[in-house]
């Protein structure tokens, strides 16, 4: 029996509830949490608690990977081809497995000797992508579900030992992307894209388990750019310029495209695209450049709702 679980001895597989499991390539981390909501009943005439019942239980699995030229966790789970709007997954059910070897000395996952955890009937809870200039581009996806089964049958196949190439800053396709006008031409050091479905449980009389976890429309999609300043903030704001027929010089609504190219020459490696539509600048903050010696940076945050599409 293994004395510990570490990166080499555990793995994650995802898939459609009605489909097959696919192992996440380039996985970096996985977390499993179970939360139970409790409600207490008391009564007049007694100080002792009458009952302390569980009103709901949910299991959340959060897993991350580097964007390594292989399919994203989102694509592995949804099997969606091409550019896929995430709203299409608001009703889709998935299954997720996390398993670890019982033999700690194995060099890779061994599906014949594992103990695993499987959550079925779960829903996509949140997705986020981070594209830094100093580090790998990463993806983090969370699923939320009700029932969790365990055992040796809940195994995960070993990842392939990829021939692809991890996405790094040079793979950001500046020309192929469509950045907001406030960002265009600047030295972008970090891009962060995220969406959270805000799932809420729906209960019915006669059944303990929620019969559905609906996406709380409209849900927020954010796209944040961090740029290295070459000057102080040059974004004018003139509220007096806003009229009935014109927004003046206030930031406009824009469609944002972030494109990452594939790693040419690395077999099987593909690129990624993220489309955020109808976004508008809602935060802008300049920081740094202080006597500590660091450089000034500006973070521009864009907000839209429901409109995020993912390819790759």
Partner 1 sequence: MANNALQYPSLSVKYNGVSTPLVQSVTIDGDSGLETLSTPSGSVIAHGPTSVNVSVNSLSPSIGGPTGTYSGLREPVDISINSLQVSNCFVNSIQYSLESDGFFTSSFSYQGDSVSQSTPLMDLTSGPSEGDDNGDGVPDPSFPATGKAPYRVFFGGGSFDEENLKSISINYTYDRELIYAQGEAKPFSVLKYPVESTISFQIYVSYKTQNQPNATILDNLYTGVYLQQLACDDATPVESLNITISGPAGDSVSFGGVRIKDMSVEGGSVNGEPLEYNMTFVHYAYEGISPRVYQYQ
Site of interaction with partner 1 (CB under 8 A): 39, 41-51, 53, 55, 202-208, 211-212, 214, 216-218
Give least dist CB 87 to partner 1, A: 12
Compute the half-sphere exposure of residue 115: CA atoms within 13 Å on the CB side of its CA.
9
Judged by CB, which is closer to partner 1: 112, or 207? 207
DSSP code for 160: -
Cis status of the peptide bond prior to 218, with omega within 30 of 0 = yes
* Per-residue exposure over 39-73, b if at least 16 CB sit within 10 Å of its own CB, e if not: eeeeeeeeeeeeeeeeeebbbbbbbbbbbbbbbbb
Give least dist CB 93 to partner 1, A: 15
Helix or strand run (H / E) with residue 189: strand 187-196
Q: Which residues pair with 149 in a beta bridge?
A: 118
Give least dist CB 75 to partner 1, A: 26
Judged by CB, which is closer to partner 1: 6, or 217? 217
Give least dist CB 212 to partner 1, A: 8
Helix or strand run (H / E) with residue 194: strand 187-196
Judged by CB, which is closer to partner 1: 88, or 230? 88
Give least dist CB 240 to partner 1, A: 31
Judged by CB, which is closer to partner 1: 131, or 308? 308
Give least dist CB 308 to partner 1, A: 17
Judged by CB, which is closer to partner 1: 4, or 46? 46
* Full 3-state SS string of 30-65: EEEEEEEEEEEEEECCEEEEEEEEEEEEEEEEEEEE
C-alpha dist (Å) from residue 59 to 49, 56, 105, 274, 307:
27, 10, 30, 28, 26
Residue where the block lists tokens 């927004």: 247
Judged by CB, which is closer to partner 1: 7, or 42? 42
């Amino acid at each position: 029996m293994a004395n510990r679980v570490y990166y080499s001895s555990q793995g994650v597989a995802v898939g459609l509830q009605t489909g097959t499991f696919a192992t996440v390539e380039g996985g970096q981390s996985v977390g499993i949490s179970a939360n139970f909501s409790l409600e207490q009943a008391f009564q007049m005439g007694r100080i002792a608690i009458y009952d302390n019942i569980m009103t709901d239980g949910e299991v959340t699995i959060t897993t991350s990977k580097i964007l390594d030229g292989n399919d994203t966790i989102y694509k592995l789970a949804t099997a969606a081809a091409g550019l896929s709007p995430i709203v299409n997954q608001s009703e889709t059910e998935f299954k997720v497995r996390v398993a670890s070897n019982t033999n700690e000395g194995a060099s890779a996952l061994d599906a014949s000797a594992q103990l695993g955890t499987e959550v079925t009937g779960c829903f996509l809870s949140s997705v986020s992508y981070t594209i830094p200039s100093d580090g790998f581009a990463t993806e983090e996806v969370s699923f939320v579900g009700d029932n969790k089964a365990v055992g040796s049958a809940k195994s995960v196949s070993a990842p392939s030992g990829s021939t692809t190439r991890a996405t790094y800053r040079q793979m950001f396709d500046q020309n192929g992307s469509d950045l907001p006008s406030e960002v265009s031409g600047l030295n972008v050091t970090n891009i962060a894209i995220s969406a959270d479905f805000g799932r809420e449980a729906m209960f019915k009389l006669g059944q303990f388990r929620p019969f559905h976890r609906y996406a709380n429309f409209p849900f927020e999609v954010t796209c944040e750019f961090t740029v290295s300043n070459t000057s102080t903030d040059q974004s004018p704001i003139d509220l007096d310029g806003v009229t009935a027929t014109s927004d003046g010089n206030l930031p406009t609504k824009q469609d944002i495209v972030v494109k990452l190219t594939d790693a040419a020459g690395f077999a099987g490696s593909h690129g990624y695209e993220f489309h955020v539509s109808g976004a508008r600048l809602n935060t802008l903050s300049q920081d740094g450049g202080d006597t500590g010696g660091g450089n000034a940076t500006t973070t521009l945050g864009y907000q839209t709702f429901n409109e995020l599409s993912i390819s790759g």
